[in-house]
Chain A
């Protein structure tokens, strides 16, 4: 145990995800030894993120104004919406440059063990967006695990009566990898999702 301020900092850092007591201690001493200017910059960044960043009123991605950069972009089509769990999934898909539609960030996946039901996600807001009638295709890009699959099925069942196309991202082999190193589940999925060439 250290005294006062340094222990407070270690405790606060230790509450962050992925940071154990040892890492927290290392970070704290790094901060202590750093230039005052650097530390001030970090502190400002931390406070600013809470002051300035909020959630887009349309898609619930992180934004600095009422609507996020993607929702404001007039060059993107309103006909497709890609549903993801977290803002970081938006960044991942944006990196591909393949998708020119809009997003909808759910804020998680259905997970009864952690008390997350459809009401704690932005599903009602999604349905409101869809009922406007402009959307032709809904792409479900939730994680390919038990909870993500359940969320995708749940939304697909809800949307079905609306008559728009609902697609799920394909799961399969990593590009540039070796077939022999793929695990059986991935390889099995890839077989299911094979297509004509």
Chain B
């Protein structure tokens, strides 16, 4: 799979841009702040319907414009597919695949499989659990686009449930402030909470079962990738953590639970947490509070790993996604956004060697000398919003 052409219209700093790519490696060179990352961000958006830099759509649209358009020609098994996305902040994105009329943006998922390496990846190791959940869920969707729906359903139920808990929490606060001491507080209406519990547990179980299966599949790829990037300096492992709903003795054998057992556990945990959830006015149980425990040797990576080790771990997580997708017959496009500047020479060379065999590698960098020889391919310069091929 490779991206043959990218066209942008009012996307980030670009009023208008078009770039043609070849399979193999392409290096985009330009000073900082001239729009290299904007190009690969657009390609990433086509693959995941999200940006690796920001959580909202507004910054993606050029200042002063009302909408941005990304057009991307993707070649897969010798056949070309044209994907067009129209991003309007605050509204649903519009999408077109091939010549077919507009469809839901979600249907675009799966047209382009992509693994993106970026300086932000360091947060996978050092950042909040949310970063690691996003890593798992994004990969889940890349593997099986159906999970975009499961994820959206879960988030919708969670939002509704939180809204219910929140209103009752606020109602109770107001009531307790205005009442005279002798008066009892009216019980706020939580009669629908049971219903939301059932639905939260059902969608949550779908999500957790898929994440557990993914973790099991990633394990060996991760260990191998870390071994290769760090030149044999330690053993990297990952384990799914579900402190909000699994009992401590279940923690070690989460992978053995099947979907219906997970649903049962979630329901039981929700019932148990009910008083404190009502007390605090929010949902405290569920996969939205789970985490991915990363360990290096015997120690957790977060807090214990050095800067270099953390970097190697982050790279290994991305490499593991790449190897996993490849082992399942999907040949993803790789994007290395400004990562070489962050690495020492040894890691640079080893990373380049590991990814050089990919069907397409897109590299951005400010200093061309940072890019190892293994990835010397087509070269483009990016300056002031103009992209031109130089070699």
Contact = CB atoms under 8 A, between A and B. Distances in A.
A185 B160 contact: no
A36 to B, nearest CB: 39
A119 B153 CA distance: 25
Contact of B107 (A118, A119, A183): A183
Contacts of A115: 167
A65 B191 CA distance: 34
Interface in B141-197: 145-146, 149, 153, 156-157, 159-161, 163-164, 167, 189, 191-192, 194-196
B195 A185 contact: no
11 contacts: A112-B163, A113-B159, A117-B164, A117-B191, A118-B191, A146-B153, A147-B160, A150-B157, A150-B192, A154-B191, A184-B149
B198 interface: yes
B144 to A, nearest CB: 8
Q: DSSP majority for the A interface?
A: helix
Contacts of A111: 160
Contacts of B149: 183-185
A71 interface: no
A185 B198 contact: no
A153 interface: yes
B195 A112 contact: no
A147 B161 CA distance: 11
B199 A150 contact: yes
A21 interface: no
A117 B163 contact: no
Interface in A132-169: 146-147, 149-150, 153-154, 157
Nearest to B149: A185
Contact of B160 (A113, A183, A188): A113
Interface centre among B161, B163, B195 (most CB of A within 10 A): B195
Nearest to B162: A112
A110 interface: yes
Contact of A185 (B146, B161, B199): B146
B165 to A, nearest CB: 8
A188 B156 contact: no
A187 to B, nearest CB: 9
B198 A153 contact: yes
Interface residues of B, number: 23
B167 A112 contact: yes
Contacts of A153: 195, 198-199
B143 to A, nearest CB: 13
Interface residues of A, number: 19
Interface of A: 110-113, 115, 117-119, 146-147, 149-150, 153-154, 157, 183-185, 188
Contact of A117 (B146, B157, B192): B192
Given A118-B191, A118-B192, A146 B199 contact: yes
Contact of B146 (A113, A118, A184): A184
B157 A146 contact: yes
Closest 9 CB pairs of A and B: A112-B164, A184-B146, A112-B163, A146-B156, A113-B163, A154-B195, A185-B149, A153-B195, A150-B195
Contacts of A146: 153, 156-157, 160, 199
A116 B191 CA distance: 12
Contacts of A117: 164, 189, 191-192
Interface in B257-309: none
A9 to B, nearest CB: 27
A119 B189 contact: yes
Contacts of A154: 191-192, 195
A149 B199 contact: yes
Given A118-B189, A153-B195, 5 more contacts: A113-B163, A146-B199, A147-B160, A154-B192, A184-B149
A188 B144 CA distance: 13
Nearest to B150: A185
Contacts of B146: 184-185, 188
A110 B195 contact: yes
Contacts of A188: 146
Nearest to A111: B160
A178 to B, nearest CB: 12
Contacts of B192: 110, 112, 117-118, 150, 154
A43 B194 CA distance: 47
Interface centre among B192, B198, B199 (most CB of A within 10 A): B192
Contacts of A150: 157, 160, 192, 195-196, 199
A153 B191 CA distance: 12
Contacts of B160: 111-113, 146-147, 150
B192 to A, nearest CB: 5
A171 to B, nearest CB: 13
